[in-house]
Amino acid sequence: MQKLRVTNFSCIKYADLETASLTILIGPQASGKSVLSKLLYFFNNILITLHNSAEEQLSAKELGEAIGADFVRWFPPSAWGARIFHIRFEAGPFEIKIKRKGSTTRLSDKIQVSLAPDIRVHYEALLLSVKTATETTRSQEFGQFSSKSWEISYKLRRENEGRLEGILGEAYVDFQLFVPAGRSWFTSVGKAISAFEHGGLLDPVTLDFGRLFTNVRDRARSGLPVDSSATEQRLRNQLTVKLFGGRIRFEREKEYVEADDGRRIPFSVLSSGQQELLPLWLVLSQMSNDIQSQRRKISPTMLYIEEPEAHLFPTAQSTLLDYLASLTSDERLRRSMIITTHSPYVLSKFNNLLKAGSLGFGADKRQAQKVNEIVPRISWLNAKRTRAYAIVDGTLTDILTEDGLIDGEYLDAVSGEISKDFLRLLDLEYGDV
């Protein structure tokens, strides 16, 4: 769908990544998983906001300069490392390259941004259409904020989005959502997120999520009706009870989980795992509601979820991963997802879902039903629409084998250390027997 190639950037020595409906990145802490996912988010943001750049009347040259300035803001030079780096992003025929200026003996904090001819041609046509629409609005003496002016602008934006989707095909992303690690902070901070916006204390990705989560909480407090199908709402309610031990409630300034025994547990005293899960759960629920309420053509969405397993017991992890897999299993919903993890358990769980898919998809009704009794069909994964990578010593490695499963040797390597130690202790205990 999309491709990202990174050389000598931050802690990444080399990475050649291709996204799919579900892309899994595993590696130790501080290995570069977040760097890669945030780079993808950054480049997709460029394409999503092209129309905004045209409305600001930025020339193609100024667009490149703006991209460079944003890159430095998102990825501070102090974190680049002591090497010349190259980054290349591809979405269909569109290609964006970013290179650090300088030499190996004299590094620079400046970068060079290169836009492929296809992007330039598209952007210049977009810029011309926006200029023409602006002049038309002025010539007909519509006020800048008149309803007619907004109507023209909205129609033009939709037309240009349709044109961009036609060019990029499956690589097109209309909306993206990045759910960072450390989410429990948002559960406790509440509306105070606004206090951090101007202090430079949070990176742009975290701020984006904070604003969205604040909006979701406000909508929940307002009591706006939920517009999702009864089946989907019932499923989410069941999962909510399973994961949180009760129903999530909002009453004006009160937010709590109502347990089956009548206890009301404020968000601030939920378990660490529940506080970490709550922002992710509420945002995904709201996104599903919005899709149901639109009742129109579904736009391609990219989800980035860091460490979904954080602070959760394995059975809760399994339940959550089943749900996340179900979000990408229906091609009609046009969702893709990138998950980062350092948990071998998460990798093993996805391997089970891949195995279920290989046995169930295309099987006869009897066989498919047997698989469904073990793994719900809605969570089966198709290997052709899945990618799995591991970061080892700064290098990204493809760990999905030709038979559509995650490399068994890698799974054994990352999960076998504890077993090896235990066997060595047994040898020590019974070695003389």
pLDDT digits (tens, 9 = 90+) for 26-56: 999 889 999 999 999 999 999 999 999 999 9
Q: How far is CA 261 from CA 245, 249, 264, 288, in A?
A: 10, 15, 9, 29
First and final C-alpha spacing in the chain: 58
User: Given a cut of 50, is residue 303 above it in pLDDT?
Assistant: yes
Beta strands in 92-146 (DSSP E): 94-102, 107-115
Decide which of 340 and 225 is more confident: 340
Q: What angle do CA 188, 301, 202 make, to 5 degrees?
A: 35
pLDDT digits (tens, 9 = 90+) for 270-282: 999 999 999 999 9
What's the token pair of residue 227? 């517009």
Helix, strand, coil percent content, the chain, rounded in steps of 5 = 55, 20, 25
Over residues 92-97, mean pLDDT: 97
User: Given a cut of 80, is residue 147 above it in pLDDT?
Assistant: no
pLDDT (0 to 100) of residue 233: 75
Q: Hey, is 162 helix, strand or coil?
A: helix
What's the token pair of residue 418? 């504890």
Decide which of 312 and 298 is more confident: 312
Please, what is the average pLDDT of the chain?
88
pLDDT (0 to 100) of residue 191: 58
CA distance 155 to 1: 27
User: Given a cut of 60, is residue 433 above it in pLDDT?
Assistant: no
The torsion angles phi and psi of 279, rounded to 5 degrees, stand at -60, -40
Question: How many CA atoms lie within 13 Å of 417's alpha carbon, on the beta-carbon side?
Answer: 4
pLDDT digits (tens, 9 = 90+) for 320-335: 999 999 999 888 788 9
Decide which of 139 and 55 is more confident: 55
User: Given a cut of 80, is residue 418 above it in pLDDT?
Assistant: no
User: Given a cut of 80, is residue 138 above it in pLDDT?
Assistant: no
CA distance 272 to 250: 20
Residue with token string 């009548």: 262
| 347-376 b/e (C-beta count within 10 Å ≥ 16 → b) | bebbbbbbbbbbbbeeeeeeebeebeeebb
Check if the beta carbon of residue 396 is closer than 8 Å to that of residue 17: yes
Q: Hey, where are the domains in the chain?
A: 2-174+302-430, 187-298
Read off the pLDDT band of 294 (50, 70, 90).
low
CA distance 287 to 304: 14
pLDDT digits (tens, 9 = 90+) for 373-410: 999 999 999 999 999 999 999 999 999 999 999 998 89
Q: Can you give the pTM of this predicted structure?
A: 0.91
Own/partner contacts of 185-192, CB < 8 Å, gap of 24 or more, are 186/210, 186/213, 186/279, 187/267, 187/268, 187/270, 187/275, 187/276, 187/278, 187/279, 188/267, 188/268, 188/275, 190/214, 190/217
Decide which of 241 and 197 is more confident: 241
